[in-house]
Amino acid sequence: MAGTLIYAEVQKGEIKKGSFEVTSKAKELGGDVAVCLIGKGVEGLASQLAKYGADKVYVVDGPEYENYVTEAYVQAFKQVADTVSPAVILASATAQGKDLVPAVAARLGVGAISDCVDLKKEGDKVVAKRPVYAGKAYAMVEAVADPQVIAVRPNSFAVKEVAGAGAVEKAAVSLDASKIKAVVKSIEVAQTDEPDQTEAEIIVSGGRGMKGPENFKMLEDLAKLFGPTATTGASRAAVDAGWREHSYQVGQTGKTVSPNLYIACGISGAIQHLAGMGTSKVIVAINKDAEAPIFQKADYGVVDDLFNVVPALISEIQKVKG
């Protein structure tokens, strides 16, 4: 096959882990692995991609790429794709990836496969496994023509370092400014180091049993103990009550997540919520209602009042950590 082209995403001056994950996976699938890295002042990051399997990194670097604007990034990526003519295009299905991928596919006149959790090669085709109905089922999907454009959910693949250094090349790209119509007026990003729920390895989540917004502080405290890959989440009940922003919501009308550890506090486990977090590797449920459906999915259940359990858990973990 003619190889893979990857879109590498930069946030806060660093390449996203999901971009390394798809690079490692592309190497494993076989064929040449090219990466397109777009941004302002990103050239110095290119060599990192070689470590995870990139044979060649095309760098599109310039002040016009400081803020992500769909059209500018689509134009730049398409020009690199035209040069590479890959059989497969991969990107991490981050917030930005989800915006870019379908636009790129449509510009190339092909389809796209969103938010995949596994890829396997069958002949010239990559068959992608993706959750549908928020994880209530999986679809095995393949593209009818090349390039096969696929977005991969973060945390789906391990990053693997490989020997050998990839070449870095500045890509010659010219933008048609007349087509770039949207203008970013301002960006407001919360000053937090917490990862997005879809990318977090550990999520401490709260539901109706949290009783009010002020009590989420203890979930934040617990999450912090797990380090920088941990964050907090919420059930729809907690979000609809106005206790948490919608960006925290896990479930069918929120985010679908699959962290290594999901701790559900005061969450009964409605079908929509279970769909959204059912693929978590380890699930812990803390709820005083022994009949709560969440316990049917939990690897470890604590049937007790979360207002006693969570503070005790915080101090026990502090002890373990010394």
Partner 1 sequence: MNTVVCIKQVPDTETLIKVQGAGIVTEGIKWVMNPYDEFAVEEALRQKEKMKAGSVAIVSLGPDRGIEAIRTGLAMGADTAVHVNDAAYYDKADPYATAAALAAAIKGLQYDAIFMGKQAIDDDAAQVPAMLAEMLGIPAITMVVKFEVAADKSTATVTREIEGGQAVVEVPLPAVFSAQKGLNEPRYASLPGIMKAKKKPVDVKTAADLGASEGPKTVVKEMTLPPARQAGKVIAGDDAAAKAKELARILHEEVKIV
Positive or negative, the CA dihedral 120, 126, 127, 130 is positive
Which pair of tokens denotes residue 115? Answer: 């938010």
| In the block, residue with structure tokens 């948490």 | 244
Query: Three-class SS of residue 285?
Result: strand
21-40 residues in contact with partner 1 (CB under 8 A) are: none
261-290 residues in contact with partner 1 (CB under 8 A) are: 261, 271-272, 278-279, 282-284, 290
| In the block, residue with structure tokens 């941990």 | 230
196-235 residues in contact with partner 1 (CB under 8 A) are: 196, 202, 225-226
87-106 residues in contact with partner 1 (CB under 8 A) are: 94-96, 98-99, 101-103, 105-106
Site size for partner 1, by CB under 8 A? 93
Least Å distance between CB 259 and partner 1? 10
Report the 10 Å Cβ neighbour count for 127.
17
- Compare residues 106 and 167 and give the one whose CB is closer to partner 1: 106
C-alpha distances out from residue 312 to 66, 211, 285, 315, Å: 46, 18, 15, 5
C-alpha closest to that of 251 among 302, 281, 207, 303: 207
- Compare residues 80 and 284 and give the one whose CB is closer to partner 1: 284
Among 165, 167, 172, 312, binds partner 1 (CB under 8 A): 312
43-62 residues in contact with partner 1 (CB under 8 A) are: none
Least Å distance between CB 142 and partner 1? 6
Least Å distance between CB 243 and partner 1? 14
126-165 residues in contact with partner 1 (CB under 8 A) are: 127, 130-145
CA 40 to mean position of chain CA atoms: 22
